Amino acid sequence: QVQLQQWGAGLLKPSETLSLTCGVFGGSFSDYYWTWIRQSPGKGLEWIGEITQSGSTNYNPSLKSRVTISAATSKNQFSLYVGSVTAADTAVYYCARGVLRFGEFHFDHWGQGTLVTVSS
């Protein structure tokens, strides 16, 4: 049974860097798109970006200038970094496993979510 478990700091000050890590347990790290998604009351669910085992990344254009996703494949972990955070980055952040099959894409496993609050 695949499980995603995430951790990281939940309270940040403006201009700091958000850092979260997601561990993948009970499944392969290859053949999937390891993804970060956030959810805020004002913007709903927002795709942030993804990484594959080969290190290939894709980011939401609206966040691309501030976001980095990296992977430690030997540990079955991937991480999210968002620089220069503001109050607008306050949200629940989820890691998720993306599945691409015959041109169709969905998220079949999710982490438990981490509330990140940006406040001075």
Partner 1 sequence: IVLTQSPGTLSLSPGDRATLSCRASQSVDSNSLAWYQQKPGQAPRLLIYGASDRPTGIPDRFSGSGSGTDFTLTISRLEPEDFAVYYCQQYGYSITFGQGTRLEIK
Per rule CB under 8 A, is residue 42 in the interface with partner 1? Answer: no
* Residue range at the interface with partner 1 (CB under 8 A); choices 7-15, 66-74, 82-90, 93-101: 93-101
* Residue range at the interface with partner 1 (CB under 8 A); choices 8-16, 24-32, 40-48, 69-77: 40-48
Per rule CB under 8 A, is residue 40 in the interface with partner 1? Answer: no
The C-alpha atoms of residue 16 and residue 88 are separated, in whole angstroms, by 13
Per rule CB under 8 A, is residue 63 in the interface with partner 1? Answer: no
Q: 57-76 as b/e, with b when 16 or more CB fall inside 10 Å?
A: bebeeebeebbbbebebeeb
- To the nearest whole angstrom, how small is the minimum distance from the Cβ of residue 120 to partner 1? 27
The C-alpha atoms of residue 53 and residue 57 are separated, in whole angstroms, by 10
